[in-house]
A and B are shown apart, each in its own frame.
Chain A
Amino acid sequence: MSLTARNSSSLVIDRLCNQTREEGLAVAWLYCDYQAHQEQTVINIMGAIAKQLVGKGGIPKDIREAFQEAKELGGRRPLLPDLMRILRIAIAKLPQVFICIDALDECLPKDLPKPLESLRDIVRESPRTRIFLTGRPHVREAIHRYFTKAVGTPISSNEDDIRNYVVMRLDRDDVPEAMDNSLRAEILRIIPEKISNMYVDISPLSTMYTY
């Protein structure tokens, strides 16, 4: 995932979280990680979403009961239908829910369909639910299979992003005496231009697509 894409997910989550109090919305998220394939099962993914949503406004009685029952059965973990039931209960109690899943491409391809199918079922039942997904372009097809009208937008580091990043790194330079104004100006002119040109060849920055 590019720097900007990952930054964007955390920005979107923060923007939504800042609005939770005034608008009564709830936000749940997950950052996928290629190093955590074994843990990123559909059960753990949907469980992580449920975990963040059930906590809002107290744990509902039926979820407490399900937990109690599982505890009595030797700590049995919930299965997907249990989690979907918990999610349905939690979402129904909230005015609007936002679910953000970052870096879907960092899930194994075989693990992708089930979470997407579960998200689709949630949206079918609660059409106000909003889902924010990020990933490399190749996961688009998998998303499209479950959400035919999903809106896509390419995220990449534009010249301003790169310039801001370079300014920040120059400001934190640990050998500032080696820098002078003309060198600094030259770096700030050349690097953003070179990098963004390089990137444009791969993915046009200005095109937005709907599939």
Chain B
Amino acid sequence: MRWLSPLEPGDRHHTLRTNRFEGIGDWLLETSEFREWRGGEGGADQAVLFCSGDPGVGKTHLK
């Protein structure tokens, strides 16, 4: 499988999951934008959901 890519997204996800702050950002999963995208009824036109986050209240600042 390394033949396909040297990147290991599973490792990164595990680290982020382990250090995740519970209860932060959960509200996204309840927005209508997320639900509609997740429902997948819109075909190719609604294939993409883009979440934009400014730097500012970043991890570095809160630590």
Contacts and interface: CB of A to CB of B under 8 A. Distances in A.
A120 B26 CA distance: 28
Interface in B33-48: 33-34, 36-38, 40, 43-48
Interface residues of B, number: 48
B21 A164 contact: yes
Interface string A53-69: 01100000000000100
Contacts of A8: 25, 28, 51, 53
Given A29-B9, A151-B46, A134 B52 contact: yes
A6 interface: yes
* Contact residues of A: prevailing secondary structure: helix
Given A10-B13, A47-B4, A149-B46, A165 B20 contact: no
B4 A78 contact: yes
Nearest to B2: A51
B51 A132 contact: yes
Contacts, number: 219
A45 interface: yes
B47 to A, nearest CB: 4
Contacts of B36: 151
Given A123-B47, A134-B50, A154-B51, A10 B16 contact: yes
Contacts of A156: 53-54, 56-57
B51 A6 contact: no
Interface of A: 1-16, 28-31, 33, 36, 39-40, 43-48, 50-52, 54-55, 67, 70, 75, 77-78, 83, 86, 96, 123-124, 127-137, 139-140, 143, 147, 149-158, 160-162, 164-165, 168, 195, 198-199, 202-203, 208
9 contacts: A5-B51, A10-B16, A15-B29, A48-B5, A135-B53, A157-B24, A161-B24, A164-B21, A165-B62
